[in-house]
A and B are shown apart, each in its own frame.
Chain A
Amino acid sequence: MLQFLFKRLLQAAIVMLIISLLSFSIKDKLGDPLREMTGMSVSTAEREMLRKKMGLNDPFLVQYGRFVKKALHGDLGTSYFHKLPTMTVILKKLPATLELTFAATLIIIFTSIPLGVMAAIKPNHWFSKLIMAFSIIGISIPVFVTALALIYVFSVKLGWMPSFGRGETVHLFGYWDTNFLSKDGIMHIIMPAIALSSIMVPLFIRLVRAEMLEELSSEYVKFARAKGLSRTKVYFKHALKNTMLPVITVGGVQIGIMVAYTILTESVFQWPGMGFMFLEAVNRSDIPLIVAYIMFVGFLFVLVNTLVDLLYGIINPTVNLLGKGQ
């Protein structure tokens, strides 16, 4: 176990080093930060002086060396726009994104599993057919269209839902303000979470259904049924458990992808999370923040995959974490 975690830590370090090198090498293509920091009428000479002062004219290796040296001391640079250390900015925005992803995950779990199972055990029921038809349509509608449609119907036309932002949050600790402890907060998170989950729910319905169908046709299920076990027990205790293994694998990867979709969802709903922050950073050529964000997301990916692997071990104890022979 410790060996496994150590290996993963090493992996994370290498991933982040490569990401930092990559994002550093494209940073000059991301626009001129001085343009964002100065008015249009500021002279080229004035701008050049500022650029020199900030060390942006140094050779690539000098700049990268300086960055790595600082990074090893835990300093990933200062955001041009927020004027704060980039890690502080990211950690401030992190709770909003995590809560949104968490709420979307809840929606995915509580809709796709029952619906997928239903579609698998009663494939000819009209409702199952409806589910499958919906999942095909759902998978092909872009997130921002869903988001705008939700806003138009429920905020503008019906006036039931708030149209943007996080609303009244409740302070938990540190930078963590939560949406889940006030009515206003919950109202604000519902639509963004639905929009974010909208692309994943159909995918998972189909996945759960396919896996469940496979389990249902396996020998042990037939045997259990023949032995006289109740349907509920066979379906939900035995078959579902085995269905979950591939679902979790895919889920782990998809959570990473969902972080990418938060960029869209957050910018439509003006959700003050990391995705929106990243989009703004790109618009403003806030290079330190862009580099730090990409590194942080890389770290997040490694972290999520590690957690998924650990979860594997819990669900199926025969999985060998280190991948060595028996």
Chain B
Amino acid sequence: MRKQLGFIGKVSAAILLGSLMSMSTLSAKTLKLAYDADPVTLDIHEQLSGGILQLAHMSFDPLVRWTKDFKFEPRLAESWERVNDTTVRFKLRKGVKFHSGNPLTPADFKWTFDRLKQSPDFKGIFSNFTDLNIVDDNTIELVTDGPYPLVMHTATYIFPMDSKFYTGKDESGKDKSVIVKNGASFASTHLSGTGPFKVTSREQGVKVVFERFKDYWDKDSKGNVDKIIMTPIKDNQTRVAALLSGDVDFIAPVAPNEFGQVESNDKVNLVTMPGTRIITFQMNQERRKEFKDPKVRQAIVNAINNPGIVKKIMRGFATAAGQMSPKGYLGYNEALVPRFDLAKAKKLMSESGYPDGFSVTMMAPNNRYVNDEKIAQAVAAMLSKINIKVDLKTMPKAQYWPEFDKRAADIMMIGWHSDTEDSANFYEFLAMTPNKETGKGAYNSGNYSNKFVDETTMKANKETDPKKRAAMLQAVEKQMYDDAAFVPLHWQNLAWAARKGVNIEPVVNALNFPYLGDLVIE
């Protein structure tokens, strides 16, 4: 018996060694990538989501892109300057080609801009922009309806599409440029961009294969990946297992529960980074008169031990927050630290006339944010200490959003990532007085309303001096902090893992679009 086992061991070792060797020669420059989902479409204007922006960075190039420390890096724009209050001029890179072979021209930018204005998902971001003017063969101008501080932020969303390729009629006689949400279109199944990778084959939900574009303009890039096989692996544990067993080279996201397994393995590297998505609870002042009293809201914020949640539930994989803006954003106000003081919370409850507390309903999703259900349960338990009895209901996100839109509970969870990577976006969606016509406060289920917050946010969106603007945005944070407008919990961290030799550290960023074109595999 023992002899047999020894034999099996030797054979398996030989097989293992053989497969390892064949792997290293075969996949020298091939990256096997596993995300939790694959892009839902090839049309980068169809949906504004992380998956689509990741695709945009792989197969297209933006005018400018974010660096790790939230600065702008030239891509298709070589340089830029502000001409006047409403105009920014971009000098374009020369000699850039699309995958189809067509040269990139200013007309492609104009075409892309017009299409973005048509896209239900992107038109909101571009609502302050009136025109894209072609000045000459390699100069364009972006024009806004008034002074606008976020021109460069928005320029990160302009990935020129190949206008010649996307113009005309497809086989079924439909316009190639049309954006279709609930069905196939030419643009959702064909792609021609200027980016480092061409899409060579794609089976929705199974895999997407990319190949490096031979005529890619960025010859200075050290990136050496020739081929990317992107596979969606939905299950967190399976995704980690696929990496640890060597079936894939690079995975994201990595769930906090799997960190131990990844860190203890010496064949793989784990890279984490503070993220910019804020997780909060909102207290509905329209449903509950108690929440109209700032003291009650303050008591709730003080009763919730969010540093404890970060430590125990998130396993350190988050940063406890006292405000909406993460560090690095203009609105980040250093003075606003997390509050947790149970004694003070109890005192505030007595002062406001609710020493015996009251009962509330709470809702949270259970598959949207990292550990969302556990966080909600912990918060419910913490509120019981100030005699607030919580009736908690959690549900999958598909069911949660309709409930959120109905404002179906007294306390509701909401996480937010700012599309512009700017503080004002948080305030516009989460804190400004809800207004159906302007669309402001669309996710302010607490119905918090403060004139100073409303006005200062709008003023900040017309202020082009970064210093003055920062002061305004930070004043808004302070106001919300003092009002206990919402319950800040934490900013989720981001995590990626790759086998050793795949140098992901330099290409990942807090925006969660690894710049795979620059990825180096040793």
Chain B residues positioned under 8 Å from A129 (CB to CB): none
Within 8 A of B (CB), among A267-324: 267-270, 272, 276-277, 280, 282-285
Query: From residue B283, how far is it (CB to closest CB) to chain A in Å?
Result: 21
Interface stretch of the complex, out of A32-40, A68-76, A113-121, A228-236: A32-40
Q: Which of B84-92, B312-320, B394-402, B456-464 contacts A (4 or more CB under 8 A)?
A: B394-402
Among the 9-residue stretches A77-85, A99-107, A247-255, the one with 4 or more Cβ atoms under 8 Å from chain B is A77-85
Surface stretch bound by B, among A8-16, A155-163, A197-205, A208-216: A155-163
Please, which residues of chain A bring their CB within 8 A of the CB of B241? 151-152, 155-156, 163-164
Tell me whether A270 and B124 are in contact (CB under 8 A): no
How far is A81 from B206 in the complex, measured between Cα atoms in Å? Answer: 13
Instruction: Tell me the nearest residue of chain B to A272, going by C-beta.
Output: B206
Taking a contact as CB atoms closer than 8 A, the residue among A29, A38, A45, A148 that contacts B399 in the complex is A29
A36 to B121, CA, bound (A): 12
Within residues 1 to 57 of chain B, which ones have a CB less than 8 A from any CB in chain A? 12, 15-16, 19, 40-41, 47-49
Q: Judge whether B204 and A39 touch: CB under 8 Å.
A: no
Q: Are B245 and A162 in contact (CB under 8 A)?
A: yes
List A contacts of B48 (CB < 8 A).
Answer: 38-42
Those of B227-279 within 8 Å (CB) of chain A: 231-235, 237-238, 241-242, 244-247
- List, in ascending order, chain B residues with CB within 8 A of A95's CB: none
- A43-102: which have CB < 8 Å to B? 43-46, 49-50, 54, 78, 80-84
Please classify how large the interface on chain A is, using the bins under 10, 10 to 19, 20 to 34, 35 or more: 35 or more
Nearest CB of chain B from residue A277's CB, rounded to whole Å? 7
Min CB distance A220 to B, Å, is: 43
CA distance A272 to B206 in the complex (A): 6
Closest to B425 in A: A41
Shortest CB-to-CB span from A75 to chain B, Å, is: 13
Tell me, in angstroms, the Cα distance from A40 to B123 when the chains sit together: 13
Contact B234 A270 (CB under 8 A): yes
Within residues 150 to 190 of chain A, which ones have a CB less than 8 A from any CB in chain B?
Answer: 151-152, 155-156, 158-165
| Nearest-CB residue, chain A, relative to B396 | A283
Taking a contact as CB atoms closer than 8 A, the residue among B40, B205, B245 that contacts A272 in the complex is: B205
Q: How many interface residues does B have (CB within 8 Å)?
A: 55
Stretch at the interface among B62-70, B96-104, B180-188, B495-503: B180-188
Cβ contact within 8 Å between B439 and A155: no
B429 on interface, CB distance cutoff 8 Å? yes
Q: In the complex, which of the residues B203, B247, B396, B443 has the most CB atoms of chain A within 10 Å of its own CB atom?
A: B247
Quick one: closest A residue to B204, CB to CB? A82
A256 at the interface (CB under 8 A from B): no
Contact of B47 with A160 in the complex, beta carbons under 8 Å: no
In the complex, A30 has a CB within 8 A of chain B: yes
Nearest CB of chain B from residue A70's CB, rounded to whole Å? 14
Q: Determine whether A138 belongs to the interface, using a CB cutoff of 8 Å to chain B.
A: no
- Assess whether A78 is in contact with B182, with CB atoms less than 8 Å apart: yes
In the assembled complex, the CB of B181 is this many whole angstroms from the nearest CB of chain A, namely 5
User: What is the CA–CA distance of A38 and B181 in the complex, to the nearest angstrom?
Assistant: 8
Contacts of B139-183 to chain A: CB distance below 8 A: 180-183
- Point out which of A83, A276, A280 has the most chain B C-beta atoms below 10 A from its C-beta: A83
Could you tell me the distance between the alpha carbons of A276 and B232 in the complex, rounded to whole angstroms?
A: 12
- Contact between chains at B398 and A268 (CB < 8 Å): no
Kindly provide the distance from the CB of A265 to the nearest chain B CB, expressed in whole angstroms.
11
B131 at the A interface (CB under 8 A):
no
The answer to the question of B436 belonging to the interface, with a C-beta cut-off of 8 Å to chain A, is yes
B419 at the interface (CB under 8 A from A): yes
Closest to B122 in A: A39
Closest-CB distance, A10 to chain B (whole angstroms): 34
Instruction: State how many angstroms separate the Cβ of B191 from the closest Cβ of chain A.
Output: 15
- New A-B pairs, 15, CB < 8 Å, besides A42-B121, A163-B247, A267-B235: A30-B399, A35-B397, A39-B419, A41-B121, A41-B419, A41-B425, A50-B120, A50-B182, A78-B183, A83-B41, A83-B204, A160-B16, A163-B238, A268-B235, A269-B238
List residues of A whose CB falls within 8 A of some B CB. Answer: 29-32, 35-46, 49-50, 54, 78, 80-84, 148, 151-152, 155-156, 158-165, 267-270, 272, 276-277, 280, 282-285
Smallest CB-CB A-B distances: 8 pairs: A31-B398, A39-B48, A155-B245, A83-B184, A43-B439, A35-B401, A285-B398, A156-B244
Interface positions of B (Cβ within 8 A of A) = 12, 15-16, 19, 40-41, 47-49, 120-121, 123-125, 180-184, 188-189, 203-206, 231-235, 237-238, 241-242, 244-247, 367, 396-399, 401-402, 405, 416-417, 419, 425, 429, 436, 439, 442-443
Listed A/B pairs (15) with beta-carbon separation below 8 Å: A32-B398, A38-B181, A39-B47, A46-B123, A50-B181, A82-B205, A155-B245, A155-B247, A159-B245, A267-B235, A268-B237, A270-B242, A277-B205, A283-B396, A284-B398
